[in-house]
Amino acid sequence: MVIDVKADRHCGYRVVAHALGRGEESYIEIHK
């Protein structure tokens, strides 16, 4: 499966958030 996330300095956190089923925009919670 390929995930196309927004390319910015938080893209790693976006991928983890998506993999956890939380949605790309919940990366802020993952970052904490």
pLDDT for the residue numbered 14? 87
The total number of structural domains that make up the chain = 1
What residue numbers bound the domain in which 13 lies? 1-31
Residue with the bigger pLDDT between 31 and 24: it is 31
In this prediction the pTM is 0.67
Q: Which residues contact 24 (CB under 8 A, 6 or more apart)?
A: 5, 6, 14, 17, 18
List, for residues 1-28, the tens digit of each pLDDT value. Answer: 787 888 888 888 888 898 899 887 888 8
pLDDT for the residue numbered 4? 83
